[in-house]
Amino acid sequence: QKEVEQDPGPLSVPEGAIVSLNCTYSNSAFQYFMWYRQYSRKGPELLMYTYSSGNKEDGRFTAQVDKSSKYISLFIRDSQPSDSATYLCAMSSNTGNQFYFGTGTSLTVIP
């Protein structure tokens, strides 16, 4: 079983829709949770990060962590064509120096 599972999509939504991206994980030691956006042929860009459980909001983006279910989500409100990209979730723990990534979900927002 992979440490982090992420549906690869692709996901296609109309402009203005609410997008929900999700990851599940198996290691209960994970404490830090990150979401990255990666445009084609570019390096991943850190969007948001959270510690432990709860919600964090930044503009149109909301990150949610449910440690009891080992489930994290990224919500994008009022999606824009510029949100079209691959979204990667990542997580880490207090021990070790590694980060564990999902395989990414490809999102297309149609004008």
Partner 1 sequence: SQTIHQWPATLVQPVGSPLSLECTVEGTSNPNLYWYRQAAGRGLQLLFYSVGIGQISSEVPQNLSASRPQDRQFILSSKKLLLSDSGFYLCAWSPGGVNQETQYFGPGTRLLVL
Q: Which residues bind partner 1 (CB under 8 A)?
A: 8, 32, 34, 36, 41-46, 49, 51, 88, 90, 92-99, 101-104
Q: What are phi and psi of 77, to 5 degrees?
A: -90, 155
Q: How far is the CB of 65 from partner 1 (least distance, A)?
A: 13
57: helix, coil or strand?
strand
Tokens 């983006």 appear where?
61
Q: How far is the CB of 91 from partner 1 (least distance, A)?
A: 9
- Residue whose CB is less far from partner 1, 77 or 99: 99
Sheet bearing 61-66, strands edge to edge = 4-6, 19-25, 71-76, 61-66, 54-58
Q: How far is the CB of 16 from partner 1 (least distance, A)?
A: 28
Q: Are 71 and 50 in contact (CB under 8 A)?
A: no
Q: Are 47 and 36 in contact (CB under 8 A)?
A: yes
- Residue whose CB is less far from partner 1, 34 or 109: 34
- Residue whose CB is less far from partner 1, 17 or 103: 103
- Residue whose CB is less far from partner 1, 25 or 101: 101
